[in-house]
Structures are given as structure tokens and as C-alpha cells.
Structure 1
């Protein structure tokens, strides 16, 4: 018994002395560069030899965690680690020690991806600049106020660089205290991370991406547990948790984080993809219709063999069911539906936000399958001018000039100029018809931005845009200058003039960064004059749009709301053959939206009511819900209603290049005698992140269903000589399933794989059928590789995209003579695009690419092409590319 008691006392004494010993240890975390298991062993053993009691290195996170007593500083250990050949947060290894490492240990020595590589063992580049995360003007005001409240004499936050410049008196305050205060108001920075609870209460515009890429110094983490205890818990042990803070974190770290070219937003309740301008450089992105070639969500298809127009499809439905906006203002709709995608140059685009399913009610009532918003180039802290030249091997050329210039600290202006021309006669299938139209486009825009949200609370954006586009298509040799009645050849002429002016003004209430008022206004004039053989079509649309939005909170930022009113006026004048169609659509509306944010969930519920003078009163509810099972496992649910009025002539111009007669079966409506289109959309998605090959990998699976309550059906099956429009009598639905997997097998090599399944059916006059020109099965592969990116020395980029398209149902042509019939289903086919680019430095880039490298093209794309004025001629039966392989070259230079 005595022996047992003695052992217990001895054990307790040992535990007690061990505990006391542990209390004198300080735990530290620093970023250290390494590649493999040999690096891990070398770093850990070096740290222990330098005096660390424990040392653990993670290859995945590039973090070295070690414990020291008060006699050993972290500086001593990190210096020894650098001497062993490993760059770290405080010291940089010499070139000789790095070169002496085994080949497998040679990590990338990019100084911009390391949080604090210091050449002279201890002196930073800028002793008063710190990395702080934020998003907008409200963030800027909050960060600067927190810094001054903590004792800073001055504070200036830079949104583009994500850094705050501080001036303070060392005797009155410290960088630690200031950065801690900034974290306490909701902003992660290089030393402290805010709690999830504080972050979730920020206004929605301030919810930045909280993923910390390698290179962001973030050794200290505020946790919810620490907050509850009145402490701050972190891996580096600051002075607030009862231990000495031994490491001397160097002030003045400037961090440059790499932004993904395409990313799925974690903060949005809806399934929203952010597409950066870098993504658009992976392919021949000459206009918006070509901006989605490396994106798996949007399908891009040719819709006409004569006019060469491209159309987008999402969730198995035509682009008319997707809200296409520019600067969050209505853009491609009505008369612009057929050719509007060609009027937004790719080099003008700063970013694209793509939302699948029901979008917010604040942007209108027309969205059914989702929203695609385009933001133009308008942000820069210094004067930047860029020139892009492009040409393909079949006579197409274009030039783009963009110039962004800060006028002063509040004003920035942007000049955008685009010109293109197609001059060659391209007829790869030798049917005497041009595979794409010839013509020219001149496009110019001017943007003026005012931003003083951080001080006066005001911000404003003004834009003006003018486009003139002229196209000629049809048979080779057709002369557009001759009157139609003197032509022996079949021709198509399309002339478009477009002018628009817009303004967006916002105000953030003083002392209330969560409360704001915004007002958007736009006027658009769009004129199209065209002919298709002996058929004339002209359309004019004038649109005025206004939207007023007030945003605030109920109690705290867990409960946010938006309320507002909108007004839309559309004046249409159309002429087809000898028929004139005129209508004015006047739509005042009101809306409200409530956002509930919890620790793991976000609920966005909204509704709007619109008083349409022709379609009647329409109620539009929408709901989006996001639940984070873990930060890497996210479930989203959505449901919503949308309605729109169909512009049947403008939206179906691809069928005008045929000898189909147009018939409208009126149903008592006020728009061409038809009723408006109304549909419900439901969706669910699951996003899962995990580590693969030591890198981030993401799988997203989603399912959406669209049910039409009413629809204007475009019937191509009733007769090959007729194009019939009528309202739905029965059911029409679209089921869409997609799974996408993004991963990186090895450094600088990105892989994107996707599979899509569509089931799109409608009850036509003669029964339920699959909607034509929609493949049930589609596959997608995108591969992107870049050599080590050094802006001074240059690098290579290689991008390849493979689209696999399954068979599609084709319109019924059985009543045609046998030689003019097309099969019931198309063939399956594959399209391969590839591009190689060389960045010589940060200012000069050249690229070479090829489209449709498999050279698959639709044979006999034009029915009865030898007799274009006969009864069976039809250029609208297109399900695949018309052109074979096409190569292009381009050149970018910035000044």
C-alpha cells in the first residue's frame, strides 16, 4: 500500500513538474518553404538542434510549429532553418544553401508568395504596411476607424492590394494592438483572424473570401472558444493567453495572394461562380458569346448556318430564360437577343458572375434559369493602357484598346475601344454559302467612377456605350449594295446600331456601414435593320430602367434586409414582311428581401410584385438557403418563380434564313396575341472540398428542375415549311444534373472535369416530345498548365478544352422529299480547342490557338442549299459547328 501511495505521489510530482515546465514553453507557428519528406525531416531536426523542445512541419500547409523556452527565441530557430536552405517568414536562405539541397527539395522561390522573406535578416520592405482582408468601401471605413480607435495617427486601407498603411507612435500603441482591434471588428489580417461570429455579422457586401492561401502570414487565430473565455487563443501564443510572446513578427509585410481564375463563392447562398478576366485569356475570347468556352456550366451552340450567331444555354434551356446583365443592369433582351452577345468585347470584361437557378429579386423578375452579370474594366490605382490584336487564318481580325486612369484619389475614368472585321470568304463545306458572315463592328465606351464611400459615404458610376455593327452573309458573291429584287444570289444583311447610357449612385450612412441606399438608371436605344433573302425584318427598342434599393439591418447584421422599387419601360416597333407590330411595356414594381445569417447557415428570402400593363400583376417569390456542414461541405437549396414576355421575332431570327412561313396561334394575350411565360425553378447542390495530391480539390454536384406554368412554344415539327408559335397547353419541364470536379494533380496544372445530363420535354400540339437541339448527355474536360510564373522572366501557359456532345433530337422533316430530309437524331461529336501563350514579362503576351481541332463539322447544314428560294431551303437546322479547324494568333501589350 505504501509502495502504491509512493508511486502515486511520485507520478503526481512528475506530472506537476512537467506541467510547470510546459508553462515556461512558448508555442510558435511560422511559414517555412519545403517540398517533401526530406524537407520535413531537415526542418524539424534543424529546429530541435537550434533549441526547440518540439518541432512539427506540415508539407501541405507549409507551417512549422515548435515550442521553445524563454531562453530561446524564434528568431534563432528560423535563422538556422534558413541556413539549412529553407526560406521562411523571417529569413531567406542564401542561394548557395538553396542550391545544395537535393533536387526533390527545390521548392518555388517566388518572393511574392511568401509572407515575409527578408534579405537582410530582419528589415522589412515597409515597416507600416500590413495585410488586411476586406471587400468594399464599407470595409475601408471600418478598418480605418478601428485602427484610429486603437491609437493609430493615420490609417489608409487599399482594397486592391488588401493592405493598410499605418502611422503610429510606438510609445502610445503597437502594431499588435491595432491589428487586434481590426480583427475584433471583423477583418482577418496577417496577425489575427476574427471570430466566425463577428465575421458573420458583417454586411453582405463586406463578406470577403476567408481562405488563406500560402503566403498570408496568419499565425494567430481568434477562436469562438477564446472569445467566450475572454481570451484569444492562437498557435503563436500572444500576450493575452498568459504566456510570453517570444517571436518578433516583422511589421510591414505586403502579401500578394493569387486569385483563382474561376471560383465558386462560399459566402453566397446561391450557386454563384466568379469568373475572372484571367479565365477569359485561356481561349479566343473575342466577345461575350466566346467567354464560356472553358466553363462547364454554360453551353455555347451555333444557332444558324447562314448568320453564324452563337447562343448560350443554361440548365437545358435557351439563353432567353437567363437574365443577362451588364453592371447589374438589363443588357441582352428583346430585340438584342439574337446578336447582343457579340456586342460585349471580351477584352473589356473585368469579371463575370454566374448564378445558377433563382437569383435575387432585387435584379428583376425575368431570371428563370439564372443570371450572368458582366462587369467592365474600371478599377486601377495607376494609369494603365492595354492593346490587344487578334487575327485568325480565315480573314477575321480585331483590335482592342483599354485605358484606365485615376484622375485623383476619388475619380477614375476608363476608355474602351473595340473594332473587328471579317473579310475572308470562308466556305469549308463547299455549299456556296459563307460559313460565317463578313462585316465590321465599331464599339466604344467611356466610364467615369467616383468613390468616397470611406469618407463622405458617396460613390457613383457613369457609363456610355455606342456600337455600330454591319454584317453580310449568304451565298458567296452576294452584293449587299444591289437592291434585293436585282439579286440572283441569296443574301443576308444585318445592320445594328446601339446606344446606351447608365448611372449607379450609392450612399453609405455615416456611422452605419451596414446601411446604404443605391439608385440605378439606364437608357438603351437599339435598332436592327435586316433582310434574309426576300424577307425583311426590322426592330427598334427603347428601354428605360430604374431601380432604387435600400439596405439595412434588424437589430444586428445577422438580420439584414433590402427593400426597393423598380420601373421598366420597353417601347417596341417591329416590321416583318408587311406586318407591323408595336407595343409599350410599362412595369412599375416593388420588392423586399430578408437575409438571415447563422453560424452555419444563410437564408435569403425575397419577393417582388410587378404591375405589368400587358401581362397583369405578377408575384415573384424566391428563396435561397445555404448550410455549411463543415467549412468544406456546403449544401444549397433554391426555389423561385420568374416571368417574361416573349419577343418571338427577335428571339428566333435563326429560323428566318429559311423559307418557313411564320404563324402565331393567338391565345388571348396582349403580346402578339400570346400570354407571358411563367416558370418555377427548383435546385439543390452539394459542394465538397478535400485534399488530393496535397492540393485543394473540389467536387460540386447540382440538380435543377424548371416547370413552366405557361410558355410560348416554338414549334418546328408541325411542318418543315412552317414556324409556329403558341402558348403551352399541358406540361413543359427541364431537368438538369451536373457534376464538376476541379483538382490539381501537380503544381501549376489545373484539371476541370464535368458531366451534364438534360431531360427537356414539352407538350406540343401533337403530344409530348423532347425539345430539339438539346443533347441529353454532355462531357467536359479542361486542362490548364503554366510554367513557373515569373513576371520578370516570363512563363508559358497551355490550355486545352474538350467538349463531348451527345445526340440531339432534330425537327421533323418527313414530309419533305427524301433528299431534303434530315435524320431524327444527330450524331454525337467532340470539339477540341487549345491555346499556347507566352508571357514575356508582365507587359507583353503572345498567343497561338486552334478551335475545333477535331475538325468535326455538320455536313449539309443547309437543307436544299442549291435552291435557296425554293420551298425546302432551311438554314436553321444546326446542331454542330459549321467550320472545320480554325487557327488564330494574338498579341497583348500593356503600358
Structure 2
């Protein structure tokens, strides 16, 4: 039956692909004027009614791509399009028809091609330029019409620079009168603010952001002509906002974009984290990149190796797809320490998706996806140096250089080095609270971009990492043989090499149609020991993904289709056992996107033919509905599967004397079956005004149900680590609400509360999954001072995480002195940072982590006898270090 279904799916997808590629690609393209989705519908409808086989209108390019039918020529079709109200390169619409179009469809009939070109932001505006808010062509028409009605001879509004250029006779009118008239029709400007009721009655496409800075230079104040603007606009927190600046007679105008923002266009719940957000804390690597983010939970997983792990939607990191440049990154043997291999200063942006992600990125995502983009975009050469040191012997240095080679090629050099040299033992148990060692990490990126002319673009990357760590008791000497060591030690040596390429082509004349091919090879080797326990592993991975994207009829109906291939070659040695396996996974996928005026639906499915786990069917669905532009509902559902790497993913428990036991269940990977889970989610986003400023609340609920799971049982015995397949139910309920608001200029507040209910049917019965607090609270505050004449300013950031009690593994069979309570205490961790930007080139910062100094005093069970039966360094639920302070310096050349 499974074979029949697989063949049926393959056949259907094959026929579908044949149908798509069999279409005639030699269609005609014509210039046609239009503004919005209503224009698009009208133009395509008129073309098809006139006899076109297909008609696709691009609002951005102002082009209509036609495939004329047998009974109609392109000339006849364009004539009908003009009769429907849309000027084109052959026919002009009748005036009465144009005037009868809805207001949002009134395109600019006099627009010259040069006026549509994209310009860079101007640092200084000209004397006859004034800042006016707007969004689209409809705004342009309305602004220019109002200006002319107020006496301007001519007016040209530029959406990119948000300026209107006026030509008027000062003896007949004034700029003040013209700007007042522009405000009267709904557009904030540097002198006048539009009435709220007028603004709210603008078409939805015209509702610009009223919170950006130049509308607040003189909010709701009517100035007499000639009044001088002397108030200086305060910049938003420059470390949490991307900015561009303009100057008005000494007035600094700053437009800003939130450093962490929810993508309102995506059907899924996708957060975009800007690199500015990462500067708000000591972001030395990816594991520390989410300190100011409420969605991801970061925790220590081991009291000996000092590693950190991420959790999302109440489940461990392994259930989240962690990618770099949209390529698989932290998985397999890299699961335990891979977060340390992406330096924070290398990161350009992070995209965080809650719930099932797109099927084009693979089948492993269950709770979501975290994708990291590296630095690779710069219009001018830029080299930066970052130096960091804390007060406990940790030092880091980063050098990043991004530079264009010519108008098509650019390159990026990335170099990172870190070292931990001090013996840190804050709880006085004789064990290092974090390992000592060094890391060298280097990468080179080469980018080619000729999409506008030839349609081609390509990205190449290569990365090498060498990481060596030593942990354990302070007296441990790594140079001595293990069997001659009087002290307990841990050694971890990792070498990693990867090379990747992404190449894409956009079909000429068809901006909606493209093909992309991604390839990556990874070699990862780890040699490690934990006391007398050895664990070594090698991994070879090759990944390839081919994606074709186009439309069906028009851009309201988009689709992606493609094929992927994954090869994982593993060789592991644990104690005396040598375990080898090769996983070979070809797959195919298809995804359809339907876009309406208020909704977006993304439905996708993929079929993967795993040589060890069998054929796997992975459907996913995301739906977004905009009740209003400020009220958005999202729904999602999907399936994911993965193969468990039980040794690599459980290394936090190797620093103990637990015996590892695997109870086989007929599977081909460690005798275990693959993990399969369904994830369902719903979220509601609401934006509103508070204190006259933009505020937003988002609440979401996700549930994950495991169809099969590899359980890690720590309760069966304190002396055992047991793996087996689920027999019963396992689920995770996650609820989160987050509120972002700005009580006054430059002061941003983020509040969040999270509730988790995570349970599973273990051999001993249903229990809460350990080390997962049911209740969590989060507060982040960010403030920046005004910029001075040199662009310098202060910024202050602080984050408070409150973690409720957590269930701890059962240790009741241990002697009383080695028993842990059933539940941990709740605790709070406070981090803070103060930074000083002296100008655009130099920044210094100082901060502190865990300023509450709460730490787990009994982090290691029976630490006095590390070779005894009760020794366990994996029972960690809280920080193991007290307050730690750091300083840093950023210099840009």
C-alpha cells in the first residue's frame, strides 16, 4: 500500500512538472500602468476577456506578460486593457474611464520613466524639498494633486526619500500653505500632521507608518511660515534599530526599522532579527544571540562542559531546524557544540520561524526553523574589528571585511578567535564552571549578482573551524594518559570543514519565475573523552536542493517544485562499540501559495525516500488572514520527521557515571525507529496606538503531538541513561503572549509570558519532561540618548528572565546526600549592558550577566568522588556561574 501511494504521488508530481515546463515560455511583455491588486485583477481580467490565453501583470515592474490566443492579437488585447482604464505603451485609457476608477487605482498618468528609478537616500535635502509621508503611487498622486491645488506650479513626490520637490511662485503661495494642504488630504509632513480621521480613511495601501521620526519633528503643531525648526529629533536605540538619516536645517531626522520585527507578509509566524539586536547583549556566538528574544529559551545543559542549548515551543533544540544561509547547519554530530561555531559578529540577520516551516527547506523542522544569514552585503568596503573580554579569563576577537570587487562581484572575509584561560570555580566544588581552550574560525564568501541584466546570481562560501576544550577538575592535566589521571577530566577536540554554493537564475521578462540550486559538503570530526568514557565521531554530509518557482495564471497563484538529496555518513565510537551507518535521502516537494486581498494560504508537501527510515510523507499548511492591517490571524499545521543521533545529542549526560542502555524497537538506526511529530499552531497579532506610538501584542498557541519519539529516560535509574521508542503519547503545549511598546521616545519595552505543558509516557508512566519550567516571564528594556554633533550617543539595555520551577529526574534511589528534590526552585536572571557610540566608527560597551548572582549550588552530584557510582554533572537547571562582567570594543574602518 505504501509503495502504491508513493508511486501515485510521484506520478502526479511528474505529470504536474511536465505540464508546467511544457508551457510556451515565449510570451510577450508590455508596459501597462497600474497601482494595486485591484488594478492587477482588472488588467488580467480584461486581457483574458479579450482573448489572451494567459495574462500576468506585475505591479512592481508595471508590465503585462501575455500569451495571445488564436482569435486575438496583442494589439487588440492592449486596446481592451486601455478601455478598462489602464494606459499602456500602445493605447491611452479614456479620461472618463480613468476618472471612474477607485481612488487607489489612480496611477500617475504623467509619470516619466526617470521618475521611477530608485535613488539612494539623500543626506541633505534641497531647498525646495520637504519631507512628506506616503507609501505608493496612490499617495504620490494625492500629494502632488494637493500641492497643485494649493498653488504649486509642479510637485514631484519621491517614495524612496519621502520628499516632495515643489516649484511655486512665492508671491502667490508658500511652502507652508502647500504642506498644510497636503496634511489636509491625509499626509503627515515636516510642518503639519494629518487629522486622525482623514488618515484612517485613506485606502489600506496608503496607510504609512506614522511613528517614523520626521512626522514627530513638530507633531500636530501648525507653524507660521518661516518658523525655524530647532527641536532635535531623538534617534531610536541605535543598537536595536536600523536607521537612515536626513537633515532639515539642523534637524536630524531618523527613520527606523525595529531590530526584531514580525514579518506581516509571511503566512507563517516569522520573526526577523536584525544584526543591531545582537549588539544589545554579549553576543559572542549563536547560543548567546537570543538573550533579548522571548521566543527562544537558552539554558546550560551540563555543569562540566559549560555548553548551552536552545529550546523552542517547550522542546529540545534537536526538534528545531537550525540552518545557515538556508542550508542545514547544526545537526548530527554538531548538535552539542554547533551553536558555538557561528560567531555573533558574523551574523547579518536571523529569521526565526515558529511552527512548521516551508517544505522546500526539508523534513526535519518540527517546532520551527532558525536561519542565520552571514555578513555579505555592502555598497562600500567596510572592515570591522571587535575585541571582547570578561573578568574570568575569556577573550575573543573578530575581524570582518565586506567589500565589493566590481558592480557584480563582492567578497567577505570573516575571522574569529577565542580563548578561555582562567580557572573559574564559583561554587567551590573543584570543577571548572566552564571549559578552557581555544577556537579558530575562518570563512570566505564570494557573491555574484547580475539579476537585473542576465538574471544570474551566485553565492559561494567556505568555512574551517578548529575547536579544543578541556574541562573537569582543576587539577586535571590533559597531557597525561587517561588511565594515569588522578583527576577527572573532559577533552573535546573538534575539526569542521564546509563548502557551499547557491546559484539562481531569474527568467528574463518573467520576474516571477526562477530556478535555484543549493549544494553543500560538510566534514565534521570530534575526538572526546569524559573521564574514562570515550566518544569519537566522524560525519560526512552532502546536501543538494533544486527549486523551481513560477506562477499559475497570475501572481496570486504561485508555486514551487523541486527535488533534494541528503547523504549523511556517520562513524561513531563509544567505549568499545564502533557504530557506522549511511543515510541516503532523495526527496521531491511541491508548494502552492494563494494570495487574496486579505489572506495568504501556503500549502506544501514533500515525499522523502529514506534508505533506513522508509518513505516519509511530510505535508505542511500555513494560513494568514488580515482582519485589518493591524489585526492578523495565523494558523499552521504540519508534520516533520527526523532520525535521532542518540550519542551526539545526549553528550551533556556523558559527564556522569550513567551506563548507556538502548532498548531496540526494530529500527535500523541504533535499533530505533525515526521520530515523527505533528505540530499545530494559531496566533493573533494586534497593533494599536499607546502614548501616541505604535504598540503590538501577539499571542500564540502551539501543540506538538509525537507519533513516534526516541525518549531519553533519566528516571529509570540515576545510574542509567536509557533510550527507547515511545509507547503511548508524548505532547508539548506552548502558549506565549508578547507585548512591545514605546512609552516615550527612544525607550522600548518588551514583555512576555510563556506557559509550557510537556509530558510523555515513559516506561514508568506519564511524567512531565524534566528541565522544562511550566511558567516563564521576560522583560527587556532599551533606551538611547540623543545623538551629539559627531553622531555619538549612549544606549542602555537590560533583560530579566524569570524561570519557574522545573521537574528534576528521579534520584530517590541514591543515598540521601546525593538525592535531588523533585522540583527545582524558581529563579531570575538579570543581564544588562551600557554602550557608548563615540561616532559611527567606534563603539565601546560594558555589561554584566546573571547580575542576580543566582546559581545552582549542587550542580554536580557527588563531585568529591567523580569516579564513583553517583557522580552526575548533567543535572543542570540553572546557571552555574555567579555574576560575570565583560567589556568590549567595536571599531569600523
Name 2:848's counterpart in structure 1: 850
Paired residues of 1:307 and 1:436 also in contact (CA < 8 A):
yes
Equivalent positions of 1:706-785 (< 5 A) are 706-785=704-783
Paired residues of 2:121 and 2:160 also in contact (CA < 8 A):
no
2:118 to 151, 157, 168: 157
The change in CA–CA distance for 1:223 and 1:258 in structure 2 (over 3 A counts) is same
Inter-partner Cα distance in structure 2 for 1:528 and 1:698:
45
Q: Does residue 571 of the first structure (1) align with residue 532 of the second (2)?
A: no
The change in CA–CA distance for 1:149 and 1:681 in structure 2 (over 3 A counts) is farther
The change in CA–CA distance for 1:571 and 1:465 in structure 2 (over 3 A counts) is same
Inter-partner Cα distance in structure 2 for 1:671 and 1:885:
43
How far has the Cα of 1:177 moved from its partner? 12
Equivalent positions of 1:47-196 (< 5 A) are 151-152=112-113, 157=118, 189=160
Name 2:490's counterpart in structure 1: 492
Inter-partner Cα distance in structure 1 for 2:484 and 2:567:
41
Name 1:420's counterpart in structure 2: 418
The change in CA–CA distance for 1:630 and 1:865 in structure 2 (over 3 A counts) is same
Name 1:84's counterpart in structure 2: none
Inter-partner Cα distance in structure 2 for 1:378 and 1:559:
32
Inter-partner Cα distance in structure 2 for 1:356 and 1:874:
34
Given the two structures, how large is their TM-score scaled by the length of structure 2? Answer: 0.75
SS at match of 1:257: strand
The change in CA–CA distance for 1:706 and 1:456 in structure 2 (over 3 A counts) is same
Name 1:325's counterpart in structure 2: 323
CA deviation map 1:286-339 (0-9, x unaligned): 000000000000000000000000000000000000000000000000000000
Paired residues of 1:216 and 1:257 also in contact (CA < 8 A):
no
How far has the Cα of 1:490 moved from its partner? 0.2
The change in CA–CA distance for 1:217 and 1:657 in structure 2 (over 3 A counts) is farther
Given the two structures, how large is their TM-score scaled by the length of structure 1? Answer: 0.75
How far has the Cα of 1:139 moved from its partner? 6.3
Paired residues of 2:119 and 2:160 also in contact (CA < 8 A):
no
Q: Does residue 294 of the first structure (1) align with residue 255 of the second (2)?
A: no
1:654 to 652, 655, 664: 652
SS at match of 1:259: strand
Inter-partner Cα distance in structure 2 for 1:327 and 1:575:
31
How far has the Cα of 1:279 moved from its partner? 0.5
The change in CA–CA distance for 1:864 and 1:189 in structure 2 (over 3 A counts) is same
Paired residues of 1:189 and 1:218 also in contact (CA < 8 A):
no
SS at match of 2:597: coil
How far has the Cα of 1:789 moved from its partner? 3.5
How far has the Cα of 1:257 moved from its partner? 3.0
CA deviation map 1:723-777 (0-9, x unaligned): 0000000000000000000000111000000000000000000100000000000
Inter-partner Cα distance in structure 2 for 1:844 and 1:626:
43
Inter-partner Cα distance in structure 2 for 1:226 and 1:860:
58
Inter-partner Cα distance in structure 1 for 2:813 and 2:189:
65
How far has the Cα of 1:613 moved from its partner? 0.4
Inter-partner Cα distance in structure 2 for 1:515 and 1:293:
39
1:810 to 801, 808, 811: 808
Inter-partner Cα distance in structure 1 for 2:567 and 2:120:
37
SS at match of 1:889: strand
The change in CA–CA distance for 1:815 and 1:841 in structure 2 (over 3 A counts) is same
Equivalent positions of 1:142-291 (< 5 A) are 151-152=112-113, 157=118, 189=160, 257-291=255-289
Inter-partner Cα distance in structure 2 for 1:441 and 1:346:
14
Equivalent positions of 1:639-678 (< 5 A) are 639-678=637-676
SS at match of 1:741: strand
The change in CA–CA distance for 1:636 and 1:571 in structure 2 (over 3 A counts) is same
The change in CA–CA distance for 1:222 and 1:746 in structure 2 (over 3 A counts) is closer
Name 1:400's counterpart in structure 2: 398
SS at match of 2:379: coil
Name 1:546's counterpart in structure 2: 544
Name 1:591's counterpart in structure 2: 589
SS at match of 2:864: coil
Inter-partner Cα distance in structure 2 for 1:553 and 1:699:
34
How far has the Cα of 1:505 moved from its partner? 0.7
Paired residues of 1:262 and 1:276 also in contact (CA < 8 A):
yes
Inter-partner Cα distance in structure 1 for 2:433 and 2:292:
23
Name 1:620's counterpart in structure 2: 618
Name 2:478's counterpart in structure 1: 480
The change in CA–CA distance for 1:480 and 1:687 in structure 2 (over 3 A counts) is same
CA deviation map 1:159-215 (0-9, x unaligned): 899999xxxxxxxxxx9999779x9xxx9656799xxxxxxxxxxxxxxxxxx9988
Q: Does residue 410 of the first structure (1) align with residue 408 of the second (2)?
A: yes
2:352 to 351, 354, 358: 354
Paired residues of 1:791 and 1:841 also in contact (CA < 8 A):
no
CA deviation map 1:72-98 (0-9, x unaligned): xxxxxxxxxxxxxxxxxxxxxxxxxxx
SS at match of 2:444: strand
CA deviation map 1:224-279 (0-9, x unaligned): 9799xxxxxxxxxxxxxxxxxxx9xxxx9999631211101100101110000111
Inter-partner Cα distance in structure 1 for 2:192 and 2:589:
43
SS at match of 2:277: helix
How far has the Cα of 1:833 moved from its partner? 0.3
Q: Does residue 630 of the first structure (1) align with residue 628 of the second (2)?
A: yes
Q: Which ranges in structure 1 are unaligned for 5 or more consecutive residues? A: 1-136, 165-174, 194-211, 228-246
Paired residues of 1:215 and 1:256 also in contact (CA < 8 A):
no
The change in CA–CA distance for 1:836 and 1:573 in structure 2 (over 3 A counts) is same
SS at match of 2:712: strand
The change in CA–CA distance for 1:668 and 1:160 in structure 2 (over 3 A counts) is farther
The change in CA–CA distance for 1:591 and 1:160 in structure 2 (over 3 A counts) is farther
How far has the Cα of 1:149 moved from its partner? 11
The change in CA–CA distance for 1:147 and 1:563 in structure 2 (over 3 A counts) is farther
Name 1:504's counterpart in structure 2: 502
The change in CA–CA distance for 1:569 and 1:224 in structure 2 (over 3 A counts) is farther
Inter-partner Cα distance in structure 2 for 1:793 and 1:513:
40
How far has the Cα of 1:221 moved from its partner? 10
Equivalent positions of 1:372-451 (< 5 A) are 372-451=370-449
How far has the Cα of 1:155 moved from its partner? 7.2
How far has the Cα of 1:152 moved from its partner? 3.5
Name 1:96's counterpart in structure 2: none
Inter-partner Cα distance in structure 2 for 1:531 and 1:681:
37
Paired residues of 2:621 and 2:636 also in contact (CA < 8 A):
yes
How far has the Cα of 1:860 moved from its partner? 1.3
How far has the Cα of 1:604 moved from its partner? 0.5
The change in CA–CA distance for 1:846 and 1:661 in structure 2 (over 3 A counts) is same
CA deviation map 1:627-658 (0-9, x unaligned): 00010000000000000000000000000000
Paired residues of 2:754 and 2:776 also in contact (CA < 8 A):
yes
Inter-partner Cα distance in structure 2 for 1:550 and 1:831:
47
Inter-partner Cα distance in structure 1 for 2:734 and 2:503:
38
Q: Which ranges in structure 2 are unaligned for 5 or more consecutive residues? A: 1-57, 65-88, 90-106, 126-135, 145-157, 165-186, 206-224, 226-244, 248-252
Paired residues of 1:179 and 1:191 also in contact (CA < 8 A):
no
